[in-house]
Structure 1
């Protein structure tokens, strides 16, 4: 009957010195009673409430005296609530739960002083760590825990407060998504690799090549490419190297080990400009990276500080990455044109 209600005794050490008067008006006394009903034991209730067993027994006895009827049948082991007590508990349980929710809401509304933040490893190293540090400097008293990337479900389940994700979740229930960038990624390889293995012209040709793929908590290895809205068959490779971060993927492709479909071109703009990397298979791309800053709606409702931080991150990221996106698109298109002319 009471399994979904969690008794919270924190902050009720005053019960040790309580004067026995009008206990029925003290929420702590009702918590003691509910715990006794749930455990069926004075001793177990005392342990949970961090009170002497004799004190717990006196509190329940005083409630019985004030109410004018017996609450617990002490002749049985475990103790059983009387019919009148069961009626009281049925009414009191939702009231206490509602009080706890109200107290939690108002006590946390401006009290968030520690924020956990997650982003893809490469973006954390290159950008977001400095952005978070800048915010922290301007808002003393708020500390941050920067973690490896997390999913939208991790945010929804309360495992992280704020996350940068690179996809649009199928279910955004309970989440606040602030989108800040969308970018497409071409297939890339070095001229050395192409001279040694040839250049594929279609997704089917990739079966003769080595694929350099990304696999993270947010991103399974790419299996399909698209061109003008049409999807390719599931990709087949002669060999596959899989890594878990963009910077390692960058090193693999620059080492002429294969073709990458997942490397964000913004990470290798100088190499594309110089011809150290070349885009191949014009028009074929993986699904765009859809970048968002994600929080829980209920967390933002409780904490203006968290809401302000998430909005700041998204606005700063959008302002930073919009010109990078435009420059990346321009450089990649120029590289395609150079390759067509050669």
Structure 2
């Protein structure tokens, strides 16, 4: 491990800076991506480069350091002992450099530097991307990176500055800031309602074909407000006939008459308004989710991160999918409901 210390001191700007070696930021970032994503191919896709370029950058970095950073096999690639130590130190050093650059920029009254945002696919494409684009236009010195993925990832390890999550937030080591509420709706197509009828209570749902979201653990448990004065919640395990890891796929299945689905209103609000889908049991709605910005505690003092979160909170204070005229149009085909 001692053989790496001069390189780390050089990277961090220590007493031997400029006297030992010259490390290139692009080589270090390529290495960080390889470690975090578990391979050269994935790192190349993330950085928009060819695999040969990533391989050369890793080789150049190892040659400059004089050690092997990666252990390669036919099935996997992972950091060596030296590589793991260098990864931790280099990641921390780059964060320090970014913080220093932002501190200097703050004095000039502008936001700059890179900000990596992770968001769910459907919410990202339908609602978040225009907001991020407008924020980027207002801050041209920033390099905003928006990546969409429905999988739950380790925000800090994957080097995202902030992740947008739609959930009922539990205990977490991350800082969470609520952006808005995500109301959910039990719905189906008019064709399914005419063919199978509609449940008159939560217990009747078990007799129906249901569509499940596989990225929500457990995938086949739905929670509903019980409608009593205590705010109780009732959970059921419906009969799943179709499962997908994307809300728009489930919406399409519901539109095709395949069964009942619990979906966010931000996905189905226009279908409900147009009558392509109908709300089921509106007086016993599914439990709401929250839409949160979550980020590691190391980002707590970031001015650019705080600016983005505050902008999103203001932009989503009155979400368009919760407009009164939309909510008022959903009481359709509901036995006994007006």
TM-score category (smaller protein): 0.5 to 0.7
Instruction: Look up the match of 2:243.
Output: 242
Cα displacement string for residues 33-73 of structure 1 (whole angstroms, at most 9, x for unaligned residues): xxxxxxxxxxxxx977569xxxxxxxxxxxxxxxxxxxxxx
- Distance between the aligned counterparts of 1:129 and 1:337, measured in 2? 34
**Match among 302, 313, 325 for residue 322 of structure 2:** 325
**Contact kept in structure 2, 1:187 and 1:284, CA below 8 Å:** no
- Distance between the aligned counterparts of 2:94 and 2:282, measured in 1? 59
TM-fit CA distance, 1:188: 0.7
- What does residue range 1-342 of structure 1 map to in structure 2 within 5 Å? 8=8, 9-10=10-11, 12=16, 14-15=18-19, 105=96, 108-111=99-102, 113-149=113-149, 154-173=154-173, 175-216=174-215, 220-226=218-224, 227-228=226-227, 229-237=231-239, 239-261=240-262, 263-301=263-301, 303-319=302-318, 321=319, 324-327=321-324, 330-331=327-328, 335=331, 340=336
- Mark the CA change 1:156 to 1:169 in structure 2 (over 3 Å): closer, same or farther: farther
- Distance between the aligned counterparts of 1:135 and 1:103, measured in 2? 24
The structure with the greater share of residues assigned to helix is 1
- Distance between the aligned counterparts of 2:300 and 2:179, measured in 1? 18
Cα displacement string for residues 118-137 of structure 1 (whole angstroms, at most 9, x for unaligned residues): 11111111121122122222
Cα displacement string for residues 77-134 of structure 1 (whole angstroms, at most 9, x for unaligned residues): xxxxxxxxxxxxxxxxxxxx99x97996466233462222111111111121122122
**Contact kept in structure 1, 2:210 and 2:242, CA below 8 Å:** yes
Q: Mind listing any 5+ residue stretches in structure 1 that lack a counterpart? A: 18-45, 52-96
**Contact kept in structure 2, 1:213 and 1:222, CA below 8 Å:** yes
Instruction: State the secondary structure of the residue aligned to 2:269.
Output: helix
TM-fit CA distance, 1:241: 0.7
Higher gyration radius (CA): 1
**Contact kept in structure 2, 1:115 and 1:142, CA below 8 Å:** yes
- Mark the CA change 1:188 to 1:47 in structure 2 (over 3 Å): closer, same or farther: closer
- Mark the CA change 1:153 to 1:109 in structure 2 (over 3 Å): closer, same or farther: farther
- Mark the CA change 1:188 to 1:125 in structure 2 (over 3 Å): closer, same or farther: same
TM-score (normalised: structure 2): 0.63
- Distance between the aligned counterparts of 2:141 and 2:6, measured in 1? 31
What is the Cα-based RMSD across aligned positions, in Å? 3.8
- Distance between the aligned counterparts of 2:63 and 2:255, measured in 1? 63
TM-fit CA distance, 1:260: 0.6
**Contact kept in structure 2, 1:121 and 1:149, CA below 8 Å:** yes
**Contact kept in structure 1, 2:161 and 2:296, CA below 8 Å:** yes
